[in-house]
Amino acid sequence: MKKNNLLPTEVKKKLARLNAFTMLNPRPIIEVDFKGSILDMNENAKKLFPDLKRKGIRHGYLRGFGAIVKSLKTKREFGRDIKIGEKWYKQRFYRVPQFELIHIYGSDATARKRAEETLRASEQRYRSLFNKISEGHALYEFILDKKGRPVDYKFLDINPAYEHFANIKYANVIGKTIKEVFPKTADELIKKYAPVVLTGRPLHQENYHRDIDKHYEVFAYKTDNLQFAVLFFDITQRKRIEEEKDNFISIMSHELRNPLTPILSSSQLLLNELTAQEDQYLREYVQIIERHAKSMSKLLNDLLDTSRMSRKQMQLDKKMVDVKAAVGHAVESVRPIITQHQQALVISLPRHPVFIEADPVRLEQIIVNLLTNAAKYTHRGGRVEISLTVNNGWAQITVKDNGIGIEPEKIKQIFKLFNTSHDLPFVAMGSLGIGMNITKHLMAMHGGKIQVTSKGKNKGSTFTVKFPEHIQKHADHDAVETLVQRTGSNKRVLIVDDNKDIAYLLSRILGQAGYSTQVFHNGSKAVKAARTFKPQACLIDIGMPGMNGYEVAKKIGAQQGGKQPAQLIAVTGYGQDNGRYPFLRHLVRS
């Protein structure tokens, strides 16, 4: 920055331009010697630091000057950020060895430093939250093959909760791929998470991780390009509790059905054997026993269906079904309730059959639930209507009543589990509030629709269910063969059950229907008797001591060697169907 009149004109011009560039530069530029004496400074430096020349190296702008000089002895330049008051400056120190000078160029870095501090604070908050949340959190990045297809993904970050959840260590997995860390489930996980990155749609579901033997709820979302994050909620304990609950319901069902089945069967036998001339009061007493036994059986069935639904174990055995016939059967099942409440029942059915593809047992259950619901929530002496129509390719069943109705704000609650919000002082409820929830679930499984309307309190309700109609003019009788059709004219049935009351009553009921039966309470004796009795059907209890029902069925099947084999039917109080082989059917006691 010093002027030199002895220099050639061309050099003077260059120095003048350099001096103008330095002096007019909006950034502070300072020239000092190696001792820290201020030799020169441009106008902007003077304006920003008016006391710099006086204070020299004691000024905050030149703080640590001795260390800077020492550093410049081994290199040409040095840079740092320094804070003066509320402002930050970026400094660059350049050594000019031929003149033993140091040029200091500065620039305002306040905005950048504040942005960095904000980012750093945000990262610290994120890291603190990331590390402290109780749910597992992981960040991944997908790896694509040459054709751009996701083939693997690698770990970028995991929090301590994920380390604990997956029983892994941060240092052992970061940078590694999912195939290296979890080889058993890698392909399944890649297939599951690839759409999150490719489409940007988040994923929320429950899964089971085979590598770590845990159940978890997962929420996955895309973060950037090929990166995605996953939030894990460990639900293993909840799943185990649900499994224990379902096992308890299954066992409870068995224990309750064992005394319930003979009660119901005995009442039905008594009603069949009582003549019209016998004591009318006795007949009424037996009817009360039968009615309440059926009610208890329905409650057990509803509990078991709820358990199956929660475990996604409910299955349909679909076939061609005449809805008109199903409505008829359902009406007969519910008629005693309607008669008890002295209600009028109006039935409107088409002349021709209406066929749909459905599970006949579940279809009848849906209709029974709707009719039972209507009867329960309709006053004594009220009116219940059921109609079947076909509209635009849909078979529509409508159940209408003039009962207590539904307030508009409560319509959405009708299908909730354990909904018992109705106030019915005039009707014995006998309900757990799960029938409509089951009905909605069954309709969804059938690909159908369910709708409820009401004009309000005490203005009745209308429930409508719709099934896709199957265009067929004649019934497929082969799909609905009865036990009598299966066994032919001889009708020999072998009954194997360690519960003597149930076995006896089964034998009596089948005897009234014209069957010839033999009863055994021991599996090995039943197998031996089957050689000579040669039954057309076998009703076998699964949970027998010693030789269980599966072993009995396999041995009887092996005896016959595939030549006109007996129809093997499992009869049990357990609500869970754990596999049908070698049974043709699996019947739950009612």
pLDDT of residue 510: 84
Instruction: Kindly tell me if the per-residue pLDDT of 90 is higher than 90.
Output: yes
* Helix-helix angle 360-376:323-340, to 10 degrees: 30
Q: How confident is the model at residue 374 (pLDDT cuts 50, 70, 90)?
A: very high
| pLDDT band at residue 477 using 50, 70 and 90 as cut-offs | very low
Q: Range with the lowest mean pLDDT among 251-255, 362-366, 434-438, 504-508?
A: 251-255
Cis peptide before 582 (omega within 30 of 0): yes
- Give residue-wise pLDDT tens across range 166-214: 889 999 999 999 999 999 889 999 999 999 999 999 999 888 888 888 8
Q: How high does pLDDT run on average in the chain?
A: 82
Given a cut of 70, whether residue 363 has pLDDT beyond it is: yes
Averaged over 66-77, what is the pLDDT? 90
pLDDT score for 475: 30
Q: CA-CA distances (angstroms) from residue 513 to 13, 155, 504? A: 126, 69, 14
Instruction: State residue 484's pLDDT score.
Output: 39
**pLDDT of 21:** 63
Q: What is the band of 248 on the pLDDT scale with cuts at 50, 70, 90?
A: confident
**Structure confidence at residue 559 (pLDDT):** 83
pLDDT in tens, 304-358: 777 777 667 678 888 888 899 899 989 988 898 899 889 999 999 988 888 888 9
pLDDT of residue 417: 63
Say which CATH class 319-477 falls into: alpha beta
**Residue 255 confidence (pLDDT) above 50:** yes
Which residues have C-beta within 8 Å of that of residue 22, sequence separation ≥ 6?
A: 1, 29, 42
Architecture of domain 9-113: 2-Layer Sandwich (3.30)
- Per the structure block, which two tokens stand in for 477? 């009788």
390-421: pLDDT as tens digits: 988 899 999 999 999 988 888 877 877 655 55
Please state, as a whole number, how many other Cβ atoms lie within 10 Å of the Cβ of residue 374. 28
Domain ranges of the chain: 9-113, 133-234, 250-310, 319-477, 480-588
- What's the rounded Cα separation, in Å, for the pair 112 and 91? 14
User: Quick check: do 9-113 and 319-477 share a fold?
Assistant: no
Q: How confident is the model at residue 529 (pLDDT cuts 50, 70, 90)?
A: very high
Instruction: Name the pLDDT band for 281 (thresholds 50, 70, 90).
Output: confident
Region 123-140: mean pLDDT is 83
Give the pLDDT confidence score for residue 278 in this predicted structure. Answer: 64
Which phi and psi angles does 272 have, rounded to 5°? Answer: -65, -35
Nearest to 397 by CA among 326, 317, 471, 447: 326
Q: Which of 590, 545, 551, 587 is nearest to 570 (CA)?
A: 587
Q: Which residues share a beta bridge with 320?
A: 357
| Range scoring the smallest mean pLDDT among 61-65, 188-192, 255-259, 488-492 | 488-492
pLDDT at 426 over 70: no
Model pLDDT, residue 487? 42
* pTM attached to this predicted model: 0.47
Q: What is the 3-state secondary structure (H, E, C) of 278-312?
A: CCHHHHHHHHHHHHHHHHHHHHHHHHHHHHHHHCC
Res 503 pLDDT > 50? yes
**Residue 367 to residues 70, 332, 441, 459, 468, Cα–Cα distance (Å):** 94, 11, 13, 22, 16
Tell whether the model's pLDDT for residue 567 goes beyond 90. Answer: no
Q: Which option is the CATH number for 133-234: 2.30.42.10, 3.30.450.20, 3.30.70.20, 3.40.190.80? A: 3.30.450.20
* Residues facing residue 101 across a β-bridge: 33, 96
Q: Is residue 13 helix, strand or coil?
A: helix
Determine what percent of the chain is predicted with pLDDT higher than 90: 34
Helical residues (DSSP H) of 200-279, grouped into ranges: 236-273
Q: What is the CATH number of domain 480-588?
A: 3.40.50.2300
